[in-house]
Structure 1
């Protein structure tokens, strides 16, 4: 790291069920000691705008570090795209899909060494009318699952997304999807439970919805879950969750 480098850490205090703030404050002294340049630590509280703060700080600091989960990373990325700032990531969320997909360890000490070593990687970003995204963008069951996971009564990442997924499955209905590309025109038109564009492999920290996705290959993948019975969909989802649990044991 250069002596001319400066660092702004944006810590989302609500990440990982509000455990991120205390976790990071215990390690702030270490970071101040290890970093050669000027550093600022901003603890994001309810009502604060990560997007606006990161956009402002990107004009002042050479490095903007997103400390939180995927939502934090995505808002920081949207703020600094088009600036000269470099984005860093210290994963503190419950899913941390983007962090996993760029090769971080989800271990503070190991990830800190990656950061201090100034190890960089370029990634693709996908632009939509709602802004940029780095990992996945889904509608239907997929989007509703992410929405419910943010309001889950469970703190543990696995249970949080399992509960959210089940709720989304029971409350969703198939919808009409029309997919067109500039080169070949209409490639799909019909009913589906879910449509997602994937730049990364996983969602919810462990659910591989697009195993072949690589977030720096200049390509994106389209995932469609076509219309089947709701009971079949719930069965497959529970089977997937149990397979992940058994694999983890």
Structure 2
């Protein structure tokens, strides 16, 4: 299948940091794709809304829209293509790269180029968050506040911005009352965090929903109920392996439609996050979009093997 694909690489120039950002990641990959016979155009976006416009324009021309950056870029480009027959490619070149991690995308440029040139598009789920398509997860509570701090951090790369952001968020956090409705069944909880996950990863490799799959038509709803701050930090240490879900304070539900509301207002309108961005405040409804996105990724059996 080499030589018969054309790509529009949509680049966020500000992601990743000096020398590690998407432009640097794209240089070798572009050469490899062109050597494989593909046509590659590069389009620089001036923001996520512009990136979505570029993705739709690429799709209209029958090109693969290649999201080059982090989870925000992948979410913007993938969200613009969800529900269409267009194909998404992802070049993980941002801070978190968590959706790419869930898909099992190779980090080696030669392996990634081979996948983009010859791989078959895989149908994966997306999420409609208050009607807006996103890819990885929708979350609120201390996680969204930590996301806010991480996005404004001057620390470059790796997990440091997420870890420091979590420290700052937890230090001032007071548990919140939530009403969580999953497929019509309502649960009232008081705690730290609620996550509706399509992808199992967020916050730079933290496996918040270890059993989540992007092709099962379901969302994994992870709730961290009221607990001590000390326990929250213990949970943080367990997130990379997903061991936190064994704790009694952590609850996991599953469903197709999840609505999260704040029921104990105390002057703090809570924001919710999605794909590393903070698009709005509660309430939020997250509804799975089964098989809505065609993405160049390893087949499902290989993804599950890589995830263990």
Q: TM class by shorter-chain length?
A: 0.7 to 0.9
Structure holding more strand per residue = 2
State how far apart, in whole Å, the 2-side matches of 1:46 and 1:212 are.
33
Q: Does residue 176 of the first structure (1) align with residue 172 of the second (2)?
A: no
Total equivalences in the alignment: 240
What are structure 1's unaligned runs of at least 5 residues? 245-249
TM-score for both structures, normalised by structure 2: 0.70
Contact 2:80–2:133 under 8 Å retained in 1: no
Using the alignment, how far apart are the partners of 1:141 and 1:224 within structure 2? 11
- The secondary structure found in structure 1 opposite 2:44 is strand
Conserved 8 A contact 1:197-1:220: yes
| Alignment CA distance shift 1:240-1:153 (3 Å) | farther
Calculate the TM-score normalised by the size of structure 1: 0.86
> Does structure 1 retain, via aligned residues, the 8 Å contact 2:95–2:158?
yes
CA distance, structure 1, for counterparts of residue 235 and residue 154 of structure 2: 23
Aligned to 1:32: 34
Paired residues for 1:1-249 under 5 Å: 1=1, 5-18=5-18, 19-36=21-38, 38-45=39-46, 49-129=50-130, 131-183=132-184, 185-186=185-186, 188-237=187-236, 239-240=237-238
Asked if structure 2 preserves the Cα contact closer than 8 Å seen for 1:9 and 1:64, the reply is yes
- Measure, in 1, the Cα distance between the counterparts of 2:93 and 2:44: 13
Given that 1:62 and 1:84 are in contact with CA atoms closer than 8 Å, whether structure 2 keeps it comes out as: no
More helix per residue: 1
Tell me the CA shift for residue 77 of structure 1: 1.1
Matched position secondary structure for 1:189: strand
Deviations 1:174-230 (A, max 9, x none): 2111112345x22x2021210000111111232111111111011111010111123
Q: Find the aligned partners of 2:122 and 2:82 in 1 and give their Cα distance.
A: 15
Provide the rounded CA distance (Å) in 2 between the counterparts of 1:143 and 1:71: 14
Structure 1 47/191 Cα, relative in aligned 2: closer, same or farther at 3 Å?
A: closer
Distance 1:47 1:131 in 2: 13
Shift of 1:48: 7.3
Indicate the structure whose relative CO is greater, using CA pairs within 8 Å and at least 6 residues apart: 2
What are the ranges of 5 or more consecutive residues in structure 2 without an aligned counterpart? 243-308
Equivalent position SS for 2:124: coil
Instruction: Give the RMSD, CA atoms, in angstroms.
Output: 2.5
CA contact (8 A) 1:162 1:241 kept: no
> Which 4+ runs in 1 deviate beyond 6 A?
241-244
CA contact (8 A) 2:32 2:113 kept: no
Cα distance in 2 for partners of 1:157, 1:230 equals: 24
